[in-house]
Amino acid sequence: MAQTDVSETTTNEPVPQDVVMAAQGRRLNPRKLLVVIVLYLAAFWTLVPMYWVAISSIKSLRDLAHIPPRFFPTDPRLDAWVTIFERRILENVYNSLVVSTLATIICLIIAVPAAYAATRMRLPFKFVAIVVGLMGLVALLPPIASAIPLFLLGSDLGIIDEKYTLIILYTVLNTAFAVWVLRGTFMDVPMDVEEAALMDGDTRFGAVRRILLPLIFPSLFSIAILLFIFNWNEYIIALYFVNSMKTMTLPIAIQAQIPQHELDWGVVSAAGTIAVFPVLVAAFTLQRFLVRGLTFGVASGQ
Amino acid sequence: MAEVRIEGLTKYFGDTCAVNQLNLVVRDGDLVVLLGPSGCGKTTTMRCVAGLERPTYGDIYIGETRVNDLEPRERDVALVFQSYALYPHFTAFDNIAYPLRLRKTPKDEIERRVRDVAEMLGISHTLERPPGLCSGGEQQRIALGRAIVREPVVFLMDEPLSNIDALLRVYMRAEIKRLQHELGTTMIYVTHDQVEGMTMADQIAVMNEGTLQQLGTPSEIYDLPANNFVARFVGSTPMNFIPGALQKENGRTVHKSDQFVIPVSAEMADRAAELCPSGQCTLGVRPEEIRFTTDDEGDNQARVFLLEPLGSETILDIEKEGLLLKVKDVASTQVREGDNLSLSFNRFHLFDDNTGAAIR
């Protein structure tokens, strides 16, 4: 098993035998059929809302208000899209991209060494347990619990309505989660491989850079995408810290499309569609890497 | 090429003492096997030499240098891991080249040296493959290649053969010994397999519970075990132990147990009187040192209850009053199960029951 997995992760050589066999053996027996039906139902369940948002953005007002709801627009139009671009949604996309990307990168820069230390440095067990436990607590804390104190702190410091403030906050709030997940990833790589690098004449830092990080790259990439999605979707903190178009991220921008009177569902839906798009792309990329990340442990352990 | 000197090495993990006051000198060019059951501290000792563990107390010298405070990369020792610890994302070539690249060796020299080593180990055909696509034996040799290629002053081997099948193991153990002789590099080889220890070592250091039990050549370890632990641990058919006490009978000293009365030489009796005044001692005798005749007469009678034929020899399982003995029959005499044998004990050892030390 281990050997075929390596071929999958490290070379582009012929498809492993067991994969070929699995493909040939794909006959639908009742059990498999049941599984397939359940999977289709689950997919339907998750995809319908997205579809609904997407078609709502091109529906006419009449279609939008129609009862029973129409699954296919009878009179598609792009009015909502024109409006949303007129309202400079691209600036919000830019803000979201900058904040999410930088917060993700900085978070990893902090979390990788922290997770490394927690797994490899043979610190006193109690110390690691307490620190990691506290970190888990922070990760589990509902964001609203910290939003208000953070807001008070931020306004005292006069850093409300700045992009860097959002970046700092997102970094801080995600680091605990990232350390937690990375710790598990590091523990999957046998200590031997890194020690071999030390014996071969590498420095500890070199061993991490040349051996450990390349080995866990798929997992690292998956974690990065997860963090990016968290940041991209973050709403509560942004709600407190965004005051102007200068810092407005997409989730806040979408909410801003809902005025006091006369809600235009088309515009909200168009903004929603824009917001979902990068997440979809990320999810598809992630899917490929997630599979690799999970099978990786098998390949490296002897 | 260098001598390795371990002085008073003590290593604690928390409250657990893994190695206790170990003194050991590995002479330049020797192959020393650290032999012992799992948890005896042999791997910890080796990791201290490698620099992967810091000694709690004691000093380690490689050549004339005290290496306690040196990083692994500053010690110029190579380590082959039990798991091989190959880099799965590199090809075999890059695995072997890695230590050279870190030393900024010129490219063409790397190419040449890696190919030479691969040739020597018979793995030239695997060089372009990642280790995951190589067989266990090939992976083993890639790991060896990675250690050899940089010509370190000391080789450390941590049970390198325990993950390959029995047949290949017999072959590889000769191969490693041959390589070590050819290169003339000092080697510390850790194993729990006493056959590996006996066949490969110039010197064996038997360890138990963190302390060195005996250091000696394989024949010294086998023929003159320092205590009952060494006696028990070494030997593929284990030594027989007969608990009892020394007594005077008709002016001679005998070892008297519930089952047997075995005469002890005057010389040994003198030593025993000096070293073990209580006389309480266990007699240890190797299976090949028990002679037997099929007479029904004689002092030490016992019954054969099982035959274990091994082809070249047969192990006779002999029972007397709750005591089991294994006897090696190399002459393939026609003994059958249920036969009564008369035993005589050719060469044997006495171990003080209080200390376990050999009386010699």
Task: Locate the domains of chain B by residue range.
Answer: 4-233, 240-352
Pairwise CB contact (< 8 Å): B102 & A190: no
Domain B240-352, CATH homologous superfamily name and number:
Nucleic acid-binding proteins (2.40.50.140)
Token readout for A206 is 């070199």
Q: Which residue has the tokens 């005998």?
A: B254
pLDDT at A22: 52
Question: Hey, what are B235's tokens?
Answer: 């030997």
Task: Please name the residues in contact with B297: beta carbons below 8 A apart, sequence gap of 6 or more.
Answer: B342
Is the pLDDT at A302 greater than 50, yes or no?
Answer: no
End-to-end CA distance of chain B: 37
* Chain B partners within 8 Å of A199 (Cβ): 50, 52, 72-73, 77-79
Residue B127 is predicted with a pLDDT of 93
What is the tally of structural domains in chain A?
Answer: 1
Cβ atoms within 10 Å, residue A269: 24
| Beta strands B323-329 and B314-320, pairing class | antiparallel
**A276 found inside a domain:** yes
Nearest Cβ partner of A196 from B81, B103, B132? B81
Select the highest-mean-pLDDT range: B145-159, B293-307, B332-346.
B145-159
Q: Is the pLDDT of residue A154 over 50?
A: yes
Nearest to A201 among B73, B88, B133 (CB): B73
Chain A residue closest to B49 (CA)? A199
How far is the alpha carbon of A6 from chain B, nearest alpha carbon, in Å? 5
For residue A300, pLDDT over 50 is answered with no
Grade residue A11 by pLDDT with cuts at 50, 70 and 90.
very low
What integer pLDDT is reported at residue A6 of this predicted model? 40
Q: Which CATH superfamily is domain B4-233 in?
A: P-loop containing nucleotide triphosphate hydrolases (3.40.50.300)
B335 neighbors B307 (Cβ within 8 angstroms): yes
- Within A141-209, residue ranges assigned H as helices are 143-157, 163-188, 191-199, 204-207
Range of the domain at A104: 80-300
Round to whole Å and give the CA distance between A146 and A148.
6
> Over chain A, what is the mean pLDDT?
82
Using alpha carbons, select from A236, A128, A235, A237 the residue that is nearest to residue A180. Answer: A128
Reported as a pLDDT band with limits 50, 70 and 90, residue B136 is: confident
- Other Cβ atoms less than 10 A from the Cβ of B36: the count is 29
**Residue B350 DSSP SS3:** strand
Nearest-CA residue of chain A relative to B81? Answer: A192
Q: Residue B233 pLDDT more than 90?
A: yes
User: Mean pLDDT over residues A122-148, rounded?
Assistant: 79
Residues 6+ apart with CB under 8 A from A187: A119
Q: Is A282 among the domain residues? A: yes
Interface test with A, best of B49, B87, B94 (most A CBs within 10 A): B87
B232 residue type, one letter: R
Cβ density class B126-151: b for 16+ within 10 Å, e for less: bbebbbbbbeebbbbbbbbbbbbbbe
Q: What is the average pLDDT across B179-204?
A: 93
Residue B22: its H or E element: strand B16-26
Instruction: Say what the pLDDT of residue B168 is.
Output: 86
B interface residues, A as partner, C-beta within 8 Å: 50-52, 71-73, 77-79, 81-89, 98-99, 102-103, 130-133, 146, 150, 163
pLDDT classification of B333: cutoffs 50, 70, 90 = confident
Residue A260, judged by CB atoms within 10 A of its CB (0-12, 13-18, 19+), counts as: exposed
pLDDT category at A16 given cuts 50, 70, 90 is low
The pLDDT, as a whole number, for residue B165 is 85
Q: Which positions in chain B touch A190 (Cβ < 8 Å)?
A: 83, 85
Q: What is the H or E stretch that residue A43 is in?
A: helix A30-56
> In the structure encoding, which two tokens stand for residue A75, read together?
């009179």
pLDDT average, residue stretch A65-72: 83
Residue with more model confidence, B339 or A109:
A109
Query: Is B133 in Cβ contact with A7 (below 8 Å)?
Result: yes
| Contact at CB, B98 and A197, closer than 8 angstroms | yes
A216 falls within a domain: yes
Instruction: Give the pLDDT confidence score for residue A277 in this predicted structure.
Output: 86
**Whole-number Å distance between alpha carbons of B164 and B162:** 6
8-state DSSP, A210: I
| Number of other residues whose CB lies within 10 A of the CB of residue B352 | 20
CA–CA dist B98, A197 (Å, integer): 8
Dihedral sign for Cα atoms in the order B166, B170, B176, B177: positive
Instruction: Give the chain A residue nearest B51 (alpha carbons).
Output: A199
Q: What is the mean pLDDT of residues A64-79?
A: 84
Q: What is the pLDDT of residue B69?
A: 93
Q: Are B217 and B203 in contact (CB under 8 A)?
A: yes
Using a CB–CB cut-off of 8 Å, the residues of A that contact B are 2-3, 5-7, 9-11, 13, 190, 192-193, 195-203, 206, 211, 214-215, 299-300, 302
CB contacts, 8 Å: B158 with chain A: none
pLDDT of residue B236: 87
**Inter-residue contact A104 to A97 (CB < 8 Å):** no
Query: Following DSSP, what letter does each residue of B307-334 receive, concatenated?
Result: EEE-SS-EEEEEEETTEEEEEEESS---
Of A65-79, A99-113, A226-240, B271-285, the least confident: A65-79
- Residue A239 domain-assigned? yes
Q: What is the ipTM, given to two decimal places?
A: 0.85
Of A272, A26, A189, the residue nearest B87 (C-alpha):
A189
Side-chain-side CA neighbours of B334 within 13 Å: the count stands at 0
Q: What is the pLDDT of residue B114?
A: 95
Counting residues of chain A whose pLDDT is more than 90, the rounded percentage is 37
Q: DSSP labels for B29-43?
A: T-EEEEE-STTSSHH
Query: In this complex, which of B72, B88, B102 lies closest to A300 when CB atoms are compared?
Result: B88
pLDDT in tens, A186-222: 888 888 999 999 999 999 999 999 999 998 888 888 8
Please tell me the predicted confidence (pLDDT) of residue B217.
Answer: 96
Partner-chain contact A215 B89, CB within 8 Å: yes
**Cβ neighbours of residue A3 closer than 8 Å, sequence gap 6 or more:** B132, B133
Q: For B312, list phi and psi in degrees, rounded to 5.
A: -75, -20
Q: How far is B199 from chain A (nearest CA, A)?
A: 27
CB count in 10 Å sphere of residue A145: 10
* pLDDT score of B312 more than 70: yes
Contact B282, B241 (CB under 8 A): yes
Is residue A8 scored above 70 in pLDDT? no
Of B85, B89, B133, the CB nearest to A214: B89
**Count of alpha carbons within 13 angstroms of residue A234, beta-carbon side:** 32
Is residue B85 within 8 A of residue B99, CB to CB? The reply is no
- Rounded Cα distance between A59 and A270, Å, is 10
State whether A203 and B73 contact (CB < 8 Å): yes
Residue B97's pLDDT is what? 95
| pLDDT tier for residue A7 given thresholds of 50, 70 and 90 | very low
A1 pLDDT band, cuts 50/70/90, is: very low
Tell me the per-residue pLDDT of A250-263, one tens digit each, with 9 for 90 and over.
999 988 888 766 77
For residues A61 and B153, which has the higher predicted lDDT (pLDDT)?
Answer: B153
Let me know: does A87 contact A257? Beta carbons within 8 Å.
Answer: yes
Q: Report the C-alpha gap between B330 and B315 in whole angstroms.
A: 9
Residue A279 lies in a domain: yes
Please give the pLDDT value at position A188. Answer: 84
- pLDDT of residue A291 exceeding 80: no
Q: What is the CATH number of the domain that holds A117?
A: 1.10.3720.10
Residue B174, burial from CB neighbour count under 10 angstroms (0-12, 13-18, 19+)? exposed
User: CA B89 → CA A99, A213, A247, distances in Å?
Assistant: 33, 11, 42
pLDDT in tens, A42-61: 999 988 998 999 999 998 88
Asked if A201 and B103 come within 8 Å (Cβ–Cβ), the reply is: yes
Under the banding of pLDDT at 50, 70 and 90, the label for residue A153 is very high
Residue A130 is predicted with a pLDDT of 82
Nearest to A225 by CA among A291, A298, A294, A279: A279
How many angstroms separate the CA atoms of B23 and A106, rounded? Answer: 50
